[in-house]
Structure 1
Amino acid sequence: MELFMGKIFSLTNNLAGRNFSQGNSYEEEEEKENGNERHPEKVPEREEELSDTFEEFLEDFMPSEKEGERFESCLWMTIEDLMTRNVVTIKENAPLEEVFSLFGKFPYHTFPVVNANNELVGIIDLDVVLEILLLCLVPRSKHTPLTAIRSLGGKARDIMITHPVTISLDATLKDASDLMMKHRFDRVCVSNNGKLAGIISKKDLVKEICRRRKKVSLG
């Protein structure tokens, strides 16, 4: 990093010495009138490893075209190769106590809810669970029809969020990344013909990108 900043500083000084601006011409004329003519500092005849232009300087730190192509290829790989297939799910008829225990047991913020045919029918997230658990602390005047329904619900299907955002099995890593960034999701359910095929998480994406970067640097 010090070498990098040092080259930037040297290049900046070098470019500044090429008279791109008028500089402090007023001060120079005043010094000449007073007999104190200012002599320009000697510029070293040779700057080691100094590029002639800023563009050439940046090229020293950019990956080669071949390396860039190899790394960019991971953006277009399908998430089928990255997703988790053995997903912890909640059955739509599961009692609320079972739902609460799953959130206490696993470090996930969301769980998919499926029916008997493994079709994705909804999701339950931490916000919903906290809203129910802390409902007794909320004044009745703050209750909404939705919170009332959820507080009286006895099954997972009564509190789940219906029509969850999903991603298709043939979507790319870039598609999944854009979706998660847009909606601020940590995990997204992968759907295939209406059935739950798996889950893709931000951690999965980061892990794969880091693996590709390491492979390119070593390759």
Structure 2
Amino acid sequence: MGIKSFLAARRNKKKTIGDAPLTVSDYMTRNLVTFKSNQPIEEVINAIIKHRISGGPVVNEKNELIGVISEGDCIKQISESRYYNMPMGNNTVEKYMVQNVETIDGNMNIFDAANKFLDSKRRRFPIIENGKLVGQISQKDILKAALALKGSTWKK
């Protein structure tokens, strides 16, 4: 599989600045909308609109990450189906999902995660523990962390 993981040093003690925690796992989203590889693209589009998300992880029956599907992937499918005059219902997530997914470790420092976002131009990174999808960190989560840290560390 094409999953790449960027691991952070493991520490037993939670790092904080003042009262604010510093790790990705403290700010990641745990309650995710996930998709299956055999799901029709139309269901993904409906879920993206309903939940106001820009995409989500694709998992197998063991909750192992196998890909990511995004708005852009869905738009590509719509464009191709209209161009070739083919119905959308015949296409599944597996055909359009990205399989080469970068992940980051939940113990990574949020500042290192922010740099990872800048270097990669990604909007989100899944977090894997013991081979299972446990959460996702987005650029918006990093912004929330920065605001939480501002109260403890930065001059106002």
TM-score scaled by length of structure 2: 0.75
- Structure 1 runs of 4+ aligned residues shifted over 6 Å read none
Supply the distance in 1 between the matched residues of 2:124 and 2:38 (Cα, whole angstroms).
23
Instruction: Report if aligned partners of 2:40, 2:90 keep a CA contact under 8 Å in 1.
Output: no
Query: What whole-Å deviation, never above 9, does each CA across 1:124-170 have from its counterpart, x for those lacking one?
Result: 112211111122454x7xxxxxxxxxx79632222211121111122
1:77 is displaced (CA, Å) by 2.2
- Higher RCO (CA 8 Å, separation ≥ 6 residues): 2
Correspondence for 2:64: 119
Correspondence for 1:92: 37
| Counterpart amino acid of residue 85 in structure 1 | R
Supply the distance in 2 between the matched residues of 1:112 and 1:190 (Cα, whole angstroms).
10
Match of 1:157 among 94, 97, 115: 94
Give the count of matched residue pairs: 138
Question: Counting strand residues as a fraction of each chain, which structure ranks higher?
Answer: 2
Match of 1:167 among 98, 104, 109: 104
Correspondence for 2:126: 189
Match of 1:214 among 148, 151, 156: 151
Supply the distance in 2 between the matched residues of 1:88 and 1:152 (Cα, whole angstroms).
21
Correspondence for 1:108: 53
Larger Rg computed on CA atoms: 1
Structure 1 vs Structure 2 CA RMSD: 2.8
| Counterpart amino acid of residue 116 in structure 2 | L
User: Residues 19-168 of structure 1: matches in 2 within 5 Å?
Assistant: 70=17, 77-136=22-81, 138=83, 154-168=91-105
Question: Counting helix residues as a fraction of each chain, which structure ranks higher?
Answer: 1
Query: What whole-Å deviation, never above 9, does each CA across 1:163-207 have from its counterpart, x for those lacking one?
Result: 211111221112211111112222111112321110111111111
The alpha-carbon distance between structure 1 residues 175 and 210, as it changes in their structure 2 partners (threshold 3 A), is same
Match of 2:137 among 193, 200, 205: 200
Supply the distance in 2 between the matched residues of 1:154 and 1:97 (Cα, whole angstroms).
8
TM-score scaled by length of structure 1: 0.55
Supply the distance in 1 between the matched residues of 2:108 and 2:155 (Cα, whole angstroms).
28
**Unmatched 5+ residue regions in structure 1?**
1-69, 141-150
1:92 is displaced (CA, Å) by 2.0
Query: What whole-Å deviation, never above 9, does each CA across 1:57-113 have from its counterpart, x for those lacking one?
Result: xxxxxxxxxxxxx47x96x82211111111111122222221121122122222100
